[in-house]
Structure 1
Amino acid sequence: MASENVHTFTDDNFDKEVLQSDIPVLVDFWATWCAPCKAIAPLIDTVASEYEGRVKVGKVNVDDNPATPGKYGVRGIPTVILIKDGKVLDQVVGAIPKAQLEALINKAL
């Protein structure tokens, strides 16, 4: 289960929570049946806690929210997208190590 620092983004709240955020946002596109998604979930929780207040971290369930992944060209999961000021700064597909996740986040800080 996601930590309290990990937000749930949906097709309905994505614009407000992500695109209009005043701090960078790390978005994890995932699904319950995805083994690599489960593998990186603890890393997502960890960086959400470590970067609290500096970066908003959240997840989009691609099965429950198909419009948002479609809009961002998400073809494989997990896909992690870094958004700052409403624009995509970077995007990584697959289960990545914590160091790569931190390097991605640091691009926005």
Structure 2
Amino acid sequence: MSQKFQEIIDSERPVLVDFFATWCQPCKVQSSVLNTVKENVGEAARIIKIDIDQYPAIANQFGVRSVPTITFFKQGELLYKESGVHDVNTLTQLIKLYS
């Protein structure tokens, strides 16, 4: 997964990553927010989810200490990282800003 993850974040298309856990209630809220964000931005950015319990090495690589944590990459560069639930407008603006 690590190699594939690196390929995804290195791509031309910006990538928003939602680090989450299945046991995390706020993560469930974030997930539904991301569905709306995906509708808003279409193909402008890719949105992926990383389960920190399944992929702890990736979470550790980016210093994810709490969930949900949203990160945003463009051509492999980490442009944004923030923990906590983000609203639709914030994430949509973030994608538009960096795309």
Match of 1:95 among 81, 85, 88: 85
Q: CA–CA distance in 2 between the matches of 1:102 and 1:39?
A: 16
Measured against aligned partners, the alpha-carbon deviations of 1:7-61 in whole angstroms (never above 9, x if no partner) come to xxx4342011222x11100000001000000011111112123222210111000
> Is 1:31 matched with 2:45?
no
Q: Structure 1: which amino acid aligns with 2:20?
A: W
Following the alignment from structure 2 to structure 1, what is the Cα–Cα distance between the partners of residues 70 and 86? 9
1:25-104 superposed matches below 5 A: 25-104=15-94
Number of aligned residues: 99
Gaps of 5+ in 1: 1-9
| Secondary structure, counterpart of 1:27 in structure 2 | strand
Work out whether residues 24 and 55 of structure 1, in 8 Å CA contact, stay in contact via their aligned partners in 2: yes
Match of 2:97 among 73, 82, 107: 107
Aligned-pair identity (%) = 33
Aligned equivalents of 1:49 and 1:68: distance in 2?
27
Gaps of 5+ in 2: none
Higher helix content, 1 or 2: 2
- The alignment's C-alpha RMSD in Å is 1.3
